Amino acid sequence: MADVTDTHEEQPTLNRVIGPALLLLFVVGDILGTGVYALTGKVANEVGGAVWLPFLLAFVVALLTAFSYLELVTKYPRAAGAALYTHKAFGIHFLTFMVTFAVMCSGLTSASSASKAFAGNFAEAFDLSLGDGFALTAVALAFITLVALINFRGVGESVKANVVLTCVELTGLLIVIFIGAWALGGGEGDLSRLTEFNTPPGESITLSVTAGTALAFFAMVGFEDSVNMAEETRDPVRIFPKVMLTGLCITGLIYVLVAISSVALVTPAELGSGDTPLLKVVSAGAPGFPLSVFAFITMFAVANSALINMMMASRLLYGMANERVLPRVLGRVHRTRRTPWVGIVFTTVIAFGLIWFADLTALGGTTALLLLCVFTVVNVAVLVLRRDPVDHDHFKAPTVIPVLGALACAFLASPLSGRAGADYRVAGVLLLIGVVLWALTYAANRYLPDAVSRR
């Protein structure tokens, strides 16, 4: 049987089965998950009781960038997202490669943070005392190994599965909001915390808020993945704008309400300790609620995030290898399972390193940092591609929006935002790996073209 990577036969087009409702569930389900479940407390550490403000500002920045994505996805309704837009706007192979690699790495850091959050909730669900050291890390490593095995086996993400998992994720957050409203209505909690800022001596409130926003942005990522579904969406030019904006507004509102409920019931200091902040909120607002049930809901939410991101990362690696953007060996497909097994192994090894050496805050911050850099490029690409007209009507963002989006994303990605140095160290190591892979691929394509073409 011929290897799928060796065939050059004309492939059928993707099946356009996704309508407005399913696309909305995809957008909402992709945004919800690890960010708010695991990092609400970490944001509280940065800003104090006004934890809702960074989530609100992160929503605004995401909304600005969403307008740029909407112009580009309706102008070029094809899969590939940021890499496609970067290639069309600038035509620089190295830049396209690094943007694509950054997107892949953001998936790995997101999956690694989900693994750590899974381990914390696993301990709560089964009432285990794993501490914060080796035992917890071992559970996270075992979980990411299980994800890799599922990925290797060839489990396909169907729309129905996405609907179910989205409902699970959404249920958990609605429980937090309902418990918060119930407790506050009964006179419990302290709403005065919502206007409190805990800033270190000598540091301004503004810097604390921007640092919190830079971290909270991790909770808002995911909407950009939906543009890769353009070729499987019915009439994407018409439905994408209203669906993506609706999905962002729904998740933004949920996040702000969760943040308000959380800090009103639990002090910022307590909320910021450990990797299971929302479990503490449920326990404080509804002591009789079975915490193991909520821990299982959280496990489903973060497990879904990990699986989606690891599948995306390995498939992206496979696609880049087949386009000779990466060494072709990374595009090898298993003959019986028909899965990109080398890409799966490669991305899993990197995830192992991230889980072992980086903490949850650094992983979430690195994910946001990588995507903020990508979003800066995308916002600029919108303006550059205005000189490339197409022969169909499409959504067009007011010029001021991508300008503001580029400036906001660049600022939040810069040290001026108060971003932790660990984010840059982790991102730097990952991008250095990317530069090495680019150099190897460039050399192979330039000096060994015949050998490459025969592979």
- Please tell me the distance from the alpha carbon of residue 350 to that of residue 112, in angstroms, as a whole number: 9
**Alpha carbons 451 and 137: distance in angstroms, whole number:** 42
Q: How confident is the model at residue 89 (pLDDT cuts 50, 70, 90)?
A: very high
Report the distance separating Cα 385 and Cα 277, nearest Å: 43
* pLDDT band per the 50, 70, 90 thresholds, residue 238: confident
User: HSE on the CB side for 66, CA within 13 Å?
Assistant: 24
- Angle CA(250)–CA(254)–CA(255) in degrees, nearest 5? 120
3 in a domain, yes or no? no
Residue keyed to tokens 């087949």: 322
**Which of 227-231, 238-242, 355-359 shows the lowest mean pLDDT across its residues?**
227-231
Find the range with the poorest average confidence among 265-279, 382-396, 407-421.
Answer: 265-279
User: Does 49 map to a domain?
Assistant: yes
How many domains does the chain fold into?
A: 1
Is 157's pLDDT higher than 60? no
- 382 and 71 Cβ atoms separated by less than 8 Å: yes
Rounded distance between C-alpha atoms, residue 157 and residue 308, angstroms = 8
- The mean per-residue pLDDT over the stretch 301-325 comes to 75
12 Cβ contact partners less than 8 Å away, ≥ 6 residues apart? none
Q: Are 246 and 94 in contact (CB under 8 A)?
A: no
Q: Does the residue 85 lie in any domain?
A: yes
Q: Hey, what amino acid is at 60?
A: V
Specify the pLDDT at position 178: 94
Is 15 inside a domain boundary?
Answer: no
Distance CA 136, CA 116 (A): 8
| Interatomic CA distance for residues 139 and 127, integer angstroms | 14
Per the model's pLDDT, the better-predicted residue between 428 and 327 turns out to be: 428
Sign of CA dihedral 14, 17, 20, 25: negative
Which residue bears the tokens 């979003």?
375
Q: Is 127 left (phi over 0), alpha (psi -120 to 50) or beta?
A: left
Q: DSSP strand E in 256-327: where? A: none
Distance CA 346, CA 333 (A): 13
Tokens of 272: 């910021």
DSSP state of 18: B
Return the CATH number at 77. 1.20.1740.10
Q: How confident is the model at residue 432 (pLDDT cuts 50, 70, 90)?
A: very high
- CA pair distance 131, 122, nearest whole angstrom: 12
Q: Supply the Cα-derived Rg of the chain in whole angstroms.
A: 22
Residue 12 counted as domain residue: no
Please check whether residue 58 lies inside any domain of the structure. yes
What is the domain range of residue 145?
20-446
Nearest one of 111, 433, 155, 118 to 275, comparing CA atoms: 118
**Predicted confidence band at 13 (pLDDT cuts at 50, 70, 90)?**
very low
130 burial level (CB within 10 Å; 0-12, 13-18, 19+)? middle
Residue 3 has pLDDT above 60, yes or no: no
Tokens representing residue 86 in the block: 């970067």
Q: Contact, 27 vs 248, CB < 8 A?
A: yes
**Torsion sign over Cα 197, 199, 204, 206:** negative
Instruction: Please work out, in degrees rounded to the nearest 5, the angle formed at the alpha carbon of residue 313 by the alpha carbons of 307 and 315.
Output: 100
For 177-305, list the strands marked E by DSSP. Answer: none
Does the residue 6 lie in any domain? no
pLDDT in tens, 219-231: 888 777 777 666 6
Residue with tokens 């910022």: 268
The answer, yes or no, to whether residue 452 has pLDDT greater than 50, is no
Mean pLDDT of 283-289: 89
With 50 as the cut, is the pLDDT of residue 134 above it? yes
- Cβ proximity of 302 and 37 under 8 Å: yes
The reported pLDDT for the residue numbered 79 is: 60
Check: pTM over 0.75? Answer yes or no: yes
Residue 383, domain member (yes or no): yes
The CA-based dihedral angle spanning residues 329, 330, 331, 334, taken in that order and rounded to the nearest 10 degrees: 80
pLDDT attached to residue 248: 92
